[in-house]
Amino acid sequence: MAPLIYYKCAKCKMTYSSYENAERCENSHLSAVSVKELEYRYGVYPSRITLTFSDGVEWDYIFDDSFYMGNEVNHAYDKNKRNFEKHKST
Is this structure's pTM higher than 0.75? no
List the domain range (segments joined by +) for residue 53.
31-89
| Cβ-based neighbour number of residue 25 at 10 Å | 19
Q: How far apart are CA 79 and CA 57, in angstroms?
A: 11
78 and 37 in a single domain? The answer is yes
22 and 49 in a single domain? The answer is no
pLDDT tens-digit profile of 68-82? Answer: 555 555 566 666 666
Cα-based torsion angle of the residue sequence 34, 39, 44, 50 in order, rounded to the nearest 10 degrees: -20
8 and 42 in a single domain? The answer is no
pLDDT tens-digit profile of 41-77? Answer: 778 888 889 999 988 888 888 876 655 555 555 566 6
Q: How far apart are CA 11 and CA 14, in angstroms?
A: 8
